[in-house]
Amino acid sequence: MPDNQKKRPAGTVVDIREYQRRRDRARREPAGEPRRRPAPPPGQRKKRRPRRRLRYARLYIIFGVILLLAVGVLVSMDVFCVRQIDVQGEYSMAQEDILAKAGLTVGENLLKVRAAGVRAGIETDPLLKYVSLKWNFPDKLVLTVQQRQPFAAISYLGTFIIIDEECRVLDTRSELPSGQYPMLSGVNVTGYEAGQVLEVEESAKRTLYCNLAQAVKMAGLSGELAEINLQDAGDITLLTREGIVAELGNGRQLEEKCAWIAAALPQLRTQGKTGGTLYATGGNGAVYSPSAVQTPQPTQTPQPTPAPESSPSPTPGQQ
């Protein structure tokens, strides 16, 4: 027997099968890598390590408490005290009135100001539109508002409802001077409230009106129109103050169609054209046709229908 081999003590019994299994396992495992812990036998759960999870939970709790304390200290400090409030945008109202509606005052903590509350306060006035609120740390607020402008009028139960391009109710009037605002027709109103979106029977027509109003405003046609007819959503009709009917077709490419009409009207005015029809339904601009078709007139001011007078009942001697 070689000298480098260890001699087993006398009387030691060696299981040849166990020896072969250990040898084969040592050959299969790469050298230098630690042996993996054998999987637990079936039916026995693997032991968890609750101590590590408890340690992480404690760390999270401590971090949360420190964060809350830091926020509380920042809120109570005068470093973030509001010292300047700038009001930007297009409006005719006094800044003091706007800030009063927004609930903003100099001296309050900048971190306590919430945009949702400022927006709700601004929108209590139907003529004001909230745009944005920016925090310029450490001590400045920038509020941007816009005054809503009347765009059209619609008749409902003998009352004229003034709406803007977003279909929000701005005002109501019993009488309306002719030609002050374009009349909106073809839309069935079901209710209204000042400062809120007009309630209509078909919401799709309200969306169509908003898209058309934006296109008309961008094209500069607001002062040219006498009526907007949305009776047929697939055949939108505009009537100018000079009696020219503009056919737009459906609600696609409204910006391009309104731009074509805005470019054609000055040329027709120079040529002395009144009446007729401008077709802006195709893709090559507006086409004018001085047809003999009767031009529809703007919607007349409706008058409230008086209640019928009840006739007196005949006396018994007159029967």
Residue 239 resides in a domain: yes
- Do 137 and 198 fall within a single domain? no
Name the domain boundary from 147, 167, 183. Answer: 147
Model pLDDT, residue 136: 85
Q: Grade residue 309 by pLDDT with cuts at 50, 70 and 90.
A: very low
In a domain, 74, yes or no: no
- Domain count of the chain? 2
Choice between 49 and 212, residue whose per-residue pLDDT is larger: 212
List pLDDT tens digits, range 117-144. Answer: 999 999 889 899 999 999 887 788 999 9
Q: What is the DSSP string of the chain?
A: --TTSPPPPTT----HHHHHHHHHHHHHSPTTSPPPPPPPPTT-PPPP-HHHHHHHHHHHHHHHHHHHHHHHHHHHSSTTB--EEEEEEE--S-HHHHHHHHT--TTSBGGG--HHHHHHHHTTSTTEEEEEEEEETTTEEEEEEEE----EEEEETTEEEEE-TT-BEEEEES---TTSSPEEES--EEE--TTSBPEES-HHHHHHHHHHHHHHHHHT-TTTEEEEE-SSTTSEEEEETTS-EEEEESSSSHHHHHHHHHHHHHHHHHTT--SSEEE--SSS--EEE---SPPPPPPP---PPPPPPPPPPPPGGG-
Chain segment 83-111, per-residue pLDDT in tens: 899 999 988 889 999 999 999 988 887 87
Residue 113 is part of a domain; what is its CATH number?
3.10.20.310
Over range 245-264, report the average pLDDT.
93
* 232 lies in the same domain as 130: no
Better-scored residue on pLDDT, 123 or 50: 123
Judge whether 317 lies within some domain.
no
The predicted structure's pLDDT at residue 249: 93
Task: Please give the single-letter amino acid code of residue 89.
Answer: G
Is residue 213 in some structural domain? yes
pLDDT at 204: 94
Is the pLDDT score of 156 beyond 70?
yes
pLDDT confidence of 312, banded at 50, 70, 90?
A: very low
**Mean pLDDT value across residues 234-249:** 93
Residue 9 is predicted with a pLDDT of 58
With respect to residue 98, please indicate whether it lies within any of the assigned structural domains. Answer: yes
Predicted pLDDT at 53: 73
Residue 55 lies in a domain: no
Residue 285 lies in a domain: yes
Mean pLDDT in residue range 45-67 = 74
**Residue 225 has what pLDDT?**
94
For residues 183 and 259, membership in a common domain is answered with yes
Give the pLDDT of residue 118.
93
Domain boundary among 147, 164, 193: 147
- For the stretch 255-298, pLDDT in tens is 999 999 999 999 999 998 888 999 998 778 899 998 644 444 44
**Confidence grade of residue 318 (pLDDT, cut at 50, 70, 90):** very low
Confidence class for position 50, pLDDT limits 50, 70, 90: low
Question: Which CATH number fits the domain that encloses residue 201?
Answer: 3.40.50
Answer yes or no: are the C-beta atoms of 148 and 217 closer than 8 Å: no
Both 172 and 110 in one domain: the answer is no
**Residue ending a domain, choose from 147, 162, 190:** 147
Q: Is pLDDT at 11 greater than 90 in this prediction?
A: no
Residue 115 has pLDDT above 70, yes or no: yes
Q: Are residues 206 and 236 in the same domain?
A: yes
Can you give the pLDDT at residue 78?
A: 63
Same domain, 173 and 283: yes
Domain of residue 243 covers 152-289
pLDDT at 310 (0 to 100): 42
- Pick from 22-36, 49-63, 150-164: least confident: 22-36
For residues 166 and 258, membership in a common domain is answered with: yes
* One domain for residues 129 and 166: no
Q: Is residue 78 a part of any domain in this protein?
A: no
Q: Same domain for 164 and 284?
A: yes
How confident is the model at residue 179, as a pLDDT? 79
Same domain, residue pair 156 and 285: yes
Residues 222 and 96 in one domain: no
168-226 tens-digit pLDDT: 999 999 988 877 899 999 999 999 999 899 999 999 999 999 999 999 999 999 899 99
Asked if the model's pLDDT at residue 317 lies above 60, the reply is no
Residues 203 and 142 in one domain: no
